Amino acid sequence: MAKPDEFKPDPPSENPKTEVDDENGDDVYEEEETEEHELDEEEDDEPEPQLRGRIPQSAVLMQQAKLQGLFQRLQTQSVPLRVHDVLIKGNTKTKDYLIESEAALFKNCTTMQQILEVSRAVNFRLQALEIFDSVKITLDSGPPELPGTSNVIVEVQEAKSPLSGEIGAYTKAEARSSTVEGTLKFKNIFGHGDLWDGSFAYGWDNLAELSAGVHFPRFRGASFPLDVRAFLLSQDWLQFSSFKERSMGLSVALLSSRNHDLVYNLGWRTLTDPSQLASRSVRMQLGHSLLSSLKYTFKVDRRNSPLRPVRGYAFAATSQIAGLAPDSRCSRFLRQEVDLRYAIPLGILNSALNLGISGGIVFPWGTGFKNLPSPLPDRFFLGGNSSPISSLGGPTTVWGYRTRGLGPTEPRRQLKSNGGDEDAADPGADFLGGDLAVTAFADLSLDFPLRWFRDRGIHGHIFASAGSLERLTQNAYKDFSLQKFVSSFRTSVGAGIVVPIQPFRLELNYYYMLKKFEHDRGKPRFGVTFSM
């Protein structure tokens, strides 16, 4: 609780002036307290020669008693106090509505304690806008004709430099995986708290993205923020599936909160095959398409830590509908992903059993949908160097299998060698992904006995995982059977060491494949996974 200010000896006030937390914490308060002490002293200095020695001891004691009484009241009782008005100072560029909307919580306060709590919250929210260098909230007495009221003064200092840069690890709405990215930001150009940024990102799955966006915390008074990004994205899958994807468009985050995300994407997507080795199924999908989709994600993570969950659960569900355009020639499909994670503490050596299951399905819709294939970039692919424990992004990983290393395949184009009629070296096969994907894992983590490891969070784990992909489109669903799908599951086991390096989770593992199929890219080996 903020320390109450000292009352000025003359005149006494029913509504004391109170400083609350500032970004500099108590120091400023102490400075100001000192200043006020100094002011008091200065004020006292002038009449001091006259008053010194004339202030009765009893008056000083009375004031101290009043002060202690106020302290006790604040601690034990509700001190009724309402906010009459919120005054904003210091904003030369920032529009008043932005600060007023963040400070709207004051209107509902009825006690001093509530006002102090709300002050902290409002201070935090204004700081989170990233457009102010400092925020100071002061309570002042209200109009004399309205007893029991106070005025809140919000004094902001706008950022001196509108330009800033940063490098970090993010997961953005339009990206399919986590990325490392560098960003340049321009702040508050139009005074609406707008943040303009340009960024370049590189993801683990051969993703490169150039984007520019703007963030409005409260666009035109709306209660939710608005994010608009224009992006140019390039992803190289030549090695795995003989195609390159280039996508450019617009992404609008319509709703973004702790548990909910709603994003609209409009993009022009082009698939090409510069190698000219693609298999037939991939050749059929090369070309241009327009993606207009709405994607909703619900996520709740009650685990104690996403890097090393020991207790708790996490659930995520993502629904995407594409084809939201008056033009029927755009890409149309429905996509659903579900993730569930559960961590059970075992009580010994900080051990825990982590269980997880993920599933996903994609299917086209529209005229003749039964005969249409699902878009290649939107199918599910399993494999890669990320751990399924941290990520909640649908079925993506089976430990031990390389990127896009399992599932349906098709032979690539065979070239004749330069010499004669004999065929050239085997070009391999394209991984086509699946319309239905299910993965599951079990992971037992435990601390090492040595304290050195425990202090650094380094621990060991033993794990098992399984996963499978299946085609459903182009009438393949007629041949689908649960028994056949279950028998197509690949399984792997392993053990390793986990090194948490905030915000990453580094695993050094040994994998062993219990069950794999002919073209799967996975074999007993040591490997590293890196996830966040």
For the chain, what is the largest distance between any 2 Cα atoms, rounded to a whole number of angstroms? Answer: 118
Overall residue count recorded for the chain in this entry: 532
- Binding mask 17-56 vs other proteins (x if CB under 8 A, - otherwise)? ----------------------------------------
8 Å CB contact between 385 and 508: no
Residue 457 backbone class (left: φ over 0; alpha: ψ -120 to 50; beta: rest): left
Among 180, 232, 290, 294, binds other proteins (CB under 8 A): 290
Instruction: Determine which residue in the list 136, 187, 218, 283 makes contact with other proteins, applying CB under 8 A.
Output: 283
Residues 384/397, Cβ–Cβ less than 8 Å: yes
Name which position in 325, 334, 344, 464 contacts other proteins (CB under 8 A). 325
Candidates 47, 221, 411, 524: give the one binding other proteins (CB under 8 A).
411
Distance CA 516, CA 522 (A): 8
Question: Ramachandran region of residue 221, left (φ > 0), alpha (ψ -120 to 50) or beta?
Answer: left
Interface pick for other proteins out of 213, 408, 433, 434 (rule CB under 8 A): 408
- From 51-59, 97-105, 232-240, 403-411, span contacting other proteins (CB under 8 A): 403-411
Look-up: residue for tokens 């160097």?
A: 385
Give just the sign of the alpha carbon dihedral 278, 279, 280, 281: negative
HSE-CB for 363 with a 13 A CA cutoff = 16
- Assess 366 for contact with other proteins (CB under 8 A): yes
Q: Does 412 bind other proteins (CB under 8 A)?
A: yes
Of the candidate spans 33-41, 234-242, 282-290, 306-314, the one that interacts with other proteins by CB under 8 A turns out to be 282-290
Q: CB of residue 467 vs other proteins: minimum separation in angstroms?
A: 17
The residue count for binding other proteins (CB under 8 A) is: 32
Pick the closer one to other proteins by CB: 138 or 281: 281
**Shortest gap between Cβ of 375 and other proteins (angstroms)?**
9
Listed ranges 31-39, 343-351, 354-362, 412-420: which one lies at the site for other proteins (CB under 8 A): 412-420
Q: Rounded CA gap, 7 and 80, in Å?
A: 19
Stretch that binds other proteins, among 115-123, 175-183, 192-200, 285-293 (CB under 8 A): 285-293
> By the 8 A CB rule, do 195 and 227 touch?
no
Min dist. Cβ of residue 362 to other proteins (A): 15
Interacting span for other proteins (CB under 8 A) from 79-87, 275-283, 394-402, 480-488: 275-283
d(CA 28, CA 495): 53
Structure tokens belonging to residue 154: 């919000």
Which CA distances in Å does 81 have to 87, 88, 106, 504?
A: 17, 20, 11, 47
Give the binding range for other proteins (CB under 8 A) out of 28-36, 43-51, 325-333, 461-469.
Answer: 325-333
Q: Is 68 in the site for other proteins (CB under 8 A)?
A: no
In the bound complex, what is the minimum distance in angstroms from residue 250's beta carbon to other proteins? 12
Q: Does 371 bind other proteins (CB under 8 A)?
A: yes
Q: Residues 6 or more apart from 2 whose CB is under 8 A from it?
A: 18, 19, 20, 21, 29, 116
Which conformational region is residue 284 in: left (phi greater than 0), alpha (psi within -120 to 50 degrees), or beta? alpha
From CA 126, how far away is CA 159, in angstroms rounded?
12
Cα distance between residue 250 and residue 314, in whole Å = 30
313 CB-near residues (< 8 Å, 6+ apart): 302, 303, 340, 341, 342, 343
Q: How far is the CB of 380 from other proteins (least distance, A)?
A: 16
- Please identify which residue in 78, 108, 239, 414 interacts with other proteins, judged by CB under 8 A: 414
3-state secondary structure of 503: coil
- Choosing from 71, 124, 202, 268, the residue that interacts with other proteins (CB under 8 A) is 268
Q: CB–CB of 516/375 below 8 Å?
A: no
> Is residue 484 at the binding interface for other proteins, with CB under 8 A as the rule?
no
**And the tokens for 312?**
């708790």
- 272 or 351: whose CB is closer to other proteins? 272
Are 495 and 461 a contacting pair, CB within 8 Å? yes
Cβ atoms of residues 227 and 244 within 8 Å? no
Among 223, 367, 418, 481, binds other proteins (CB under 8 A): 367
How far is the C-alpha of 179 from the C-alpha of 172, rounded, in Å? 8
Cβ proximity of 335 and 320 under 8 Å:
yes
Q: Please tell me whether residue 285 binds other proteins under the rule CB under 8 A.
A: yes
**Contact yes or no for 16/4 (Cβ under 8 A):** yes
Given the complex with other proteins, which of 193 and 267 has the nearer CB atom?
A: 267
Cis peptide before 503 (omega within 30 of 0): yes
2 vs 334, which CB is nearer to other proteins?
Answer: 334
- Told to check if 373 binds other proteins by CB under 8 A, we report yes
Q: Which stretch binds other proteins (CB under 8 A): 7-15, 29-37, 254-262, 402-410?
A: 402-410
With CB under 8 A as the contact rule, which of the stretches 14-22, 70-78, 273-281, 386-394 interacts with other proteins? 273-281
Asked whether position 410 contacts other proteins by CB under 8 A, the answer is yes
Please identify, among the stretches 74-82, 85-93, 323-331, 435-443, the one whose residues bind other proteins according to the rule CB under 8 A: 323-331
330 binds other proteins (CB under 8 A): yes
Q: Which of 358, 409, 465, 509 binds other proteins (CB under 8 A)?
A: 409
The one among 368, 419, 420, 449 contacting other proteins by CB under 8 A = 368
Residue 338 CA to residue 320 CA, distance in Å, equals: 12
Q: Is 293 in the site for other proteins (CB under 8 A)?
A: no
By beta-carbon proximity to other proteins, the closer residue of 325 and 472 is: 325
By CB under 8 A, name the binding residues for other proteins.
268, 276, 279-281, 283-290, 325, 327, 329-330, 366-368, 371-373, 408-414, 416, 519
